[in-house]
């Protein structure tokens, strides 16, 4: 990203000279990964090729990015994309899209939670929900079980709204020769212009979000929990759930982390909205649930400030929080080898 930012200041004619120097760190990263990925990619290409030509070859193609990439290159007749070196390079931006985003998001969520007034009861509220659902699922997470973590989901969602690391989203290049006209607003963008969305202003708009400057961990779950409770009570009294109630429930479920809209943009919106968001919602909920179930977390006196870098807002990555292992271990039942390691690593007091 540093390379991208610096190169954007370099005139187009100088880029062929400057880019090879600015991207030295990128090539170093690439070499570091290629020794692990290249042998696997070469092997996969060979196996897939053999399968293409020999229907009796007994081999199951793994369902992963490398297979998808190779199949796409073949189906679109793009032989350049079958070069193992190029495939191994393609893995790096995918890793970047997946890892930094997740790390910033979970760091922000933790800081938003730990930096909130303890009287608001966010962490105990999330811990109660996680323990209750986890216990009812024989201490094994599954997709439907994680979908029941509405408070945890809301805590991450409101953190992404208020502490999102991208203030400008959905950058697009105008490709139509006639440009892009916004008749209502009275402007036209020429071909090759870039256009994006001012995500920050949308997320901080008081007409969309009440008290937008406030982190409210249960902003999106409160109404849903209340409504679900009412429906449950009515059902217990023998009433049938009506069409209107079903629609309302659907609307409330639409306030979940993975639902993008014109008013919730941390994952973008529309055709190119982040495809990793379903994975990340699962990952983050399990992570937070593990933390709050297994550790007491000391509140911070205030929410540590994030730093603005141009249009990005990054959490303080050196900030520490104090945690203490709880007496009751509620983590999933791992295999014996991992059990030993996890216990050893987690014993006693500690700062993370
Ligand atoms: C909290 C974590 C994440 C956030 C906040 C995030 C955010 C975003 C955003 C804002 C975009 C651009 C959307 C647009 O331009 O309209 C995007 C695209 C993308 N993300 Fe994520 N992302 C996250 C995690 C992941 C993960 C875990 C993966 C992969 C496993 C992933 C893979 C991608 C890919 C491949 C694209 C490009 C989609 C396209 O252009 O069609 N992301 N993400």
User: What CATH number is attached to the domain comprising 297?
Assistant: 1.10.630.10
Question: Do residue 74 and residue 121 come from a single domain?
Answer: no
Please state the rounded mean pLDDT for residues 265-290. Answer: 96
**Residue 17 counted as domain residue:** yes
Whether the per-residue pLDDT at 199 is higher than 70: the answer is yes
Q: Which of 126, 134, 130, 197 is nearest to 159 (CA)?
A: 126
Asked if 71 and 38 sit in the same domain, the reply is: yes
Shared domain for 213 and 291, answered yes or no, is yes
**Could you tell me if 207 and 290 lie in one domain?**
yes
Name the band, by pLDDT with cuts 50, 70 and 90, for residue 111: very high
Ligand 1 atom nearest residue 269's Cα: 16
Partners of 173 in the beta sheet? 194
For residue 194, the tally of other CB atoms under 10 A from its CB is: 9
Residue with tokens 């990925």: 37
Residues 6+ apart with CB under 8 A from 123: 113, 114, 292, 297
Q: Is residue 307 part of a domain?
A: yes
Span 15-22, mean pLDDT? 96
pTM: 0.87
The answer on 114 and 65 residing in a single domain is: no
Confidence of residue 337 (pLDDT cuts 50, 70, 90): very low
329: pLDDT confidence band, cut at 50, 70 and 90?
low
CA gap 103, 90 in Å, rounded: 21
**346 pLDDT exceeds 90?**
no
The answer to whether residue 58 sits within a structural domain is: yes
Return mean pLDDT, the chain: 91
Tell whether 25 and 119 lie within a shared domain: no
Q: Do the domain assignments include residue 276? A: yes
pLDDT(341) > 80: no
Whose CA is closest to atom 42 on ligand 1? Answer: 276
Instruction: Check whether residue 156 and residue 270 sit in a common domain.
Output: yes
Expressed as residue numbers, the domain containing 56 is 2-82
Q: Which of 106, 156, 267 to mutate to test the pocket of ligand 1 (most atoms within 8 A of CB)?
A: 267
DSSP labels, 124-149: HHHHHHHHHHHHHTTT---HHHHHT-
For position 67, what pLDDT does the model report?
98
Same domain, 211 and 113: yes
Helix (H, G, I), strand (E, B) or coil at 24: helix
pLDDT of residue 331: 61
Mutate to test the pocket of ligand 1, among 72, 97, 163 (most ligand atoms within 8 A of CB): 97
Note whether 199 and 57 are same-domain residues: no
Count CB neighbours of 169 within 10 A: 20
Instruction: Name the CA dihedral angle for 279, 282, 288, 290, rounded to a multiple of 10 degrees.
Output: -120
> Does the pLDDT of residue 206 top 50, yes or no?
yes
Number of structural domains the chain divides into: 2
In a domain, 345, yes or no: no
For tokens 């020999």, the residue is 54
Instruction: Write the CB contacts of 255 (distance below 8 Å, at least 6 apart in sequence).
Output: 154, 157, 220, 223, 224
Question: Where among 311, 326, 342 does a domain terminate?
Answer: 311
Pocket of ligand 1 (CB under 6 A): 97-98, 101-102, 105, 166, 169-170, 266-268, 272-276, 279-280
| Residue 170 alpha carbon, nearest atom of ligand 1 | 15
């Amino acid at each position: 990203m540093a390379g991208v930012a610096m190169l954007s200041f370099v005139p187009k004619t100088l880029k062929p000279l400057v880019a090879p120097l600015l991207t030295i760190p990128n090539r170093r990263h690439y070499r570091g990964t290629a020794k692990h990925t290249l042998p696997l990619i070469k092997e996969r290409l060979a196996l897939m090729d053999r399968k293409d030509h020999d229907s009796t070859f007994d081999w199951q193609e793994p369902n992963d990015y490398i297979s998808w990439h190779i199949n796409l290159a073949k189906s679109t007749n793009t032989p350049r994309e079958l070069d193992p070196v190029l495939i191994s390079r393609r893995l790096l931006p995918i890793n970047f899209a997946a890892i930094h985003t997740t790390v910033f998001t979970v760091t922000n969520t933790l800081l938003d939670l730990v930096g909130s007034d303890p009287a608001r009861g966010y962490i105990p509220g999330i811990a109660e929900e996680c323990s209750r659902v986890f216990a009812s699922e024989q201490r094994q997470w599954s997709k439907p079980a994680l979908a029941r973590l509405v408070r945890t989901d809301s805590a991450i969602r409101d953190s992404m709204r208020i502490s999102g690391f991208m203030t400008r989203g959905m950058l697009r290049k105008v490709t139509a020769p006639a440009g892009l006209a916004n008749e209502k607003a009275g402007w036209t963008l020429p071909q090759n212009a870039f256009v994006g969305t001012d995500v920050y202003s949308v997320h901080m708009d008081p007409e969309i979000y009440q008290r937008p400057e406030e982190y409210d961990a249960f902003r999106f779950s409160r109404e849903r929990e209340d409504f679900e409770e009412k429906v449950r009570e009515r059902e217990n009294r023998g009433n049938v759930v009506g069409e209107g109630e079903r629609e309302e429930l659907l609307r409330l479920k639409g306030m979940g982390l993975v639902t993008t809209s014109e008013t919730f943009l941390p994952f973008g919106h529309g055709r190119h909205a982040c495809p990793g968001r379903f994975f990340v919602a699962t990952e983050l909920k399990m992570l937070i649930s593990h933390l709050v179930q297994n550790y007491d977390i000391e509140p911070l006196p205030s929410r540590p400030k994030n730093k603005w870098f141009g249009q990005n807002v990054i959490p303080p990555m050196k900030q520490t929080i104090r945690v203490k292992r709880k007496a009751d271990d509620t983590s999933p039942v791992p295999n014996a080898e991992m059990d030993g390691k996890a216990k050893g690593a987690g014993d006693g007091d500690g700062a993370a």
